[in-house]
Structure 1
Amino acid sequence: MQKDTVNDSLNIVEEDIESVDNHLETGADFESQTKDSEFESSDSENTEDEQLKDDSSTDENDESQQVILDYENKVKDLNEQLKLEREKALRSLAELENFKKRKQIEVDNFKKYSIENVVVELLPILDSFELACNHATNDKDETIKNDEKSIIEGFVLIKQQIVNTLEKMNVKRLDCINQVFDPNFHQAVAEEESEGVDSGVVLKEMQAGYVLHDRVIRPSMVVVSK
């Protein structure tokens, strides 16, 4: 009876030991599983972190590329604008130079021909002096007194002084006799037939013509051959 009791007790102890062993094995397995789970979790977290880092790095690279592209486009636009402004400035400079040249020509012409109106007003006076002098010097009347001759000579001198003064101002008389008629310098008032003379040749000068520098201020009034 006691033996059975002892055996039962031994069986119970063995069962308890087996149960403890099972618990220990279960605990070890759980710990191992826990560690594996922790490792897996850690690996997963590391993978996620790396993926986040990669995604973040990709986003940063995309943003950097976009910023660079924006700056390149801005630089390109600025270069185009600079090119247009440079061309505009060059055109403005060219226009300014042309304007200065035109104004300088106008100033030079003004200085060159500023006396034209005055000379034109003086020419009839010179014509009158010339007619008077020609009439007096061609007069064969021997009854002209010495005093009158002195007056005539004075008129001739005054007329010559006027001519000399005009020449100093680059006013010159046109030479037209026996010249081919040129409408730029001559004004025909009549035509005459003349033997041995070709048609269109100036035969007579009715009124003298004058030029100021290279500009005709009064054409010669002439008679032209038919």
Structure 2
Amino acid sequence: MKVDFKKTIPTYSARQGRFDVVEVPPLQYIAIDGSGDPNTAPEYREALQALFPVAYAIKFASKNELGRDYVVMPLEALWWAPNMNSFTTARDKVQWKWTAMILIPDWIDDEKVSAAQDSVERTGNPVGLRRIRTMTLDEGRCVQTLHVGPYDDEAAILATMHDDVIPRTGASMTGKHHEIYLSDARRVEPSRLRTILRQPISP
């Protein structure tokens, strides 16, 4: 059977208008690091152009060589900046640093990832291909919610999360702001984009 991790990992579900405290298990990703405004920096576009072909090459290798099929997961990204107001009141995207990433199963090892990169290199060789790395992210306790709408409308929700919701839990922010893009921005109009907004917090 084809596994859909969005359905088997509970933290890939969130509710609009609700801020839930969740426990996120350690998860494995392929990732590329960068910085700058994702709307204008070519580095971000190049990262996506490399990550998705490799993610699909890994999926097909898993199916054909290991007999384990799964649904390729959506794009995710970690975001941070020297001043977190860059995401809320200031909304200064030039200051943003990011890690673009796609979840891969825990049965995929570095050898399979490297073989997938080699396969993509033979067919297209996107610019960011050799910047891909594997990483395990262990976020633990987090606050998350579902945002529906344009990405630039997230600021008010993040301000509420950072300045109201998290302080009321008695915790503080740790780690990096995390977004999970459940919608494909190339095919869905901005008002209908669905994005999980997640912030790790202290235990």
| Bin of the TM-score, shorter chain as denominator length | under 0.3
Higher strand share: 2
Higher helix share: 1
**Structure showing greater Rg:** 1
Q: Which has the higher contact order (CA 8 A, sep 6+)?
A: 2
**What TM-score comes out, normalization by structure 1 length?**
0.19
**What TM-score comes out, normalization by structure 2 length?**
0.20
